[in-house]
């Protein structure tokens, strides 16, 4: 893949580009050590028929990680601007976890941004700590301050802590290999990576997916791992009911990282969906594969 940088609001946003064909944008989930490498098992397959753009959101991967307050609105704006300034045409998009809410909001605000939309185990519940409103900025300051927050962040991003996090993302514990843990840990230990995590912990990165989803005009494919945690497949029922044009596929023997654990099945589903080969489901119908 070709490594590229886009200057956005005076910061370098990293993305990888590969393939020829209609564009498709891949957006990773939000967690310590997140990066475009979350899609390492999907890029080559999708690049056979698409121009693949795999982005590192600001504060993650090889993108700049300035000391600032990271919010969901920041990422919504980044996704919208990246599509307009880099891709420059309607694009299909694949998003995982919390990033699905950002794509949903971006799509609800601009119907011209996206063609087909694929959501992988979208997070619709709050992820931040349960804090009274007055305590949020205080906790954010402590988490984003060197000395106060860096010690905590080093513990969270230790090899042991990250391996425990990843074990919760996969159905098969053997999928959590030492190279995978070290890959995530290397990204988590990049300069400035603690700042985005501070925003995640206090809830600044949460966004109400259920509020924007009914406004999305594009077709949506939900892909869920049967054994996904902490977003179990039962959460999909409400999303399917609220979305205007939505199909659901549930993959067996897979957790939340279904696109990694059962990449062959997910790759084929994305290929079929973006080619228009999956028939649009009747309203409010849940399909199980």
Task: Give the whole-angstrom CA distance, residue 249 versus residue 247.
Answer: 7
Reported as a single tens digit per residue, the pLDDT across 219-268 is: 999 999 999 988 899 999 999 999 999 999 999 999 999 999 999 999 99
Q: Give 155 or 80, the one with higher predicted confidence.
A: 80
pLDDT of residue 230: 83
Report, as an integer, the average pLDDT of 135-144. Answer: 57
Residue 116 has pLDDT above 70, yes or no: yes
Nearest CA among 86, 142, 148 for reference residue 113: 86
- State how far the alpha carbon of 16 is from the alpha carbons of 40, 54, 76, 172, 256, in Å: 11, 5, 19, 29, 23
- Binned at pLDDT 50, 70 and 90, residue 129 comes out as low
Report, as an integer, the average pLDDT of 125-141. Answer: 56
Nearest CA among 61, 71, 12, 5 for reference residue 33: 61
97: cis peptide before it, omega within 30°? no
pLDDT of residue 138: 47
Nearest CA among 151, 153, 142 for reference residue 31: 153
Cα distance between the two ends of the chain? 32
SS3 (DSSP) at 7: strand
The residues, any chain, with a CB within 8 Å of residue 68's CB and separated by 6 or more, are: 195
Task: Give the whole-angstrom CA distance, residue 213 versus residue 222.
Answer: 12
pTM score, two decimals?
Answer: 0.93
Task: Give the whole-angstrom CA distance, residue 164 versus residue 12.
Answer: 31
Reported as a single tens digit per residue, the pLDDT across 166-179 is: 999 999 999 999 99
Domains located in the chain, CATH noted: 2-126+205-274 (3.40.50.1820)
């Amino acid at each position: 893949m070709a490594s590229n940088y886009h200057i956005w609001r005076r910061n370098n946003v990293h993305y990888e580009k590969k393939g020829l064909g209609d564009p498709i944008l891949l957006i990773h989930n939000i967690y310590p050590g997140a990066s475009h490498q979350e899609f390492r098992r999907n890029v080559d397959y999708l690049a056979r028929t698409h121009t693949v753009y795999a982005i590192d959101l600001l504060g993650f991967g090889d993108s700049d990680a300035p000391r600032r307050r990271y919010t969901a609105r920041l990422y919504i704006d980044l996704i919208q601007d990246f599509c307009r300034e880099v891709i420059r045409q309607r694009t299909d998009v694949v998003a995982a976890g919390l990033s699905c809410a950002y794509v949903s909001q971006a799509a609800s605000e601009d119907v011209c941004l996206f063609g087909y939309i694929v959501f992988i185990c979208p997070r619709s519940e709050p992820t931040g700590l349960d804090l009274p409103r007055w305590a949020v900025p205080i906790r954010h300051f402590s988490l984003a301050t060197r000395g106060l927050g860096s010690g905590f962040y080093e513990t969270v991003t230790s090899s042991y802590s990250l391996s425990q996090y990843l074990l919760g993302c996969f159905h098969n514990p053997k999928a959590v290999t030492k190279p995978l843990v070290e890959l995530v840990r290397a990204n988590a230990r990049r300069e400035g990576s603690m700042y985005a995590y501070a925003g995640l912990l206090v809830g600044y990165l949460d966004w109400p997916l259920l509020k924007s989803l009914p406004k999305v005009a594009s077709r949506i494919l939900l892909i869920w791992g049967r054994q996904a945690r902490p977003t179990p497949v039962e959460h999909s029922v409400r999303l399917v009911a609220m979305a205007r044009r939505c199909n659901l596929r549930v993959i067996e023997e897979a957790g939340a990282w279904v696109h990694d654990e059962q990449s062959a099945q997910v790759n084929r589903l994305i290929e079929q969906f973006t080619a228009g080969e999956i028939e649009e489901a009747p309203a409010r119908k849940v399909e199980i594969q």
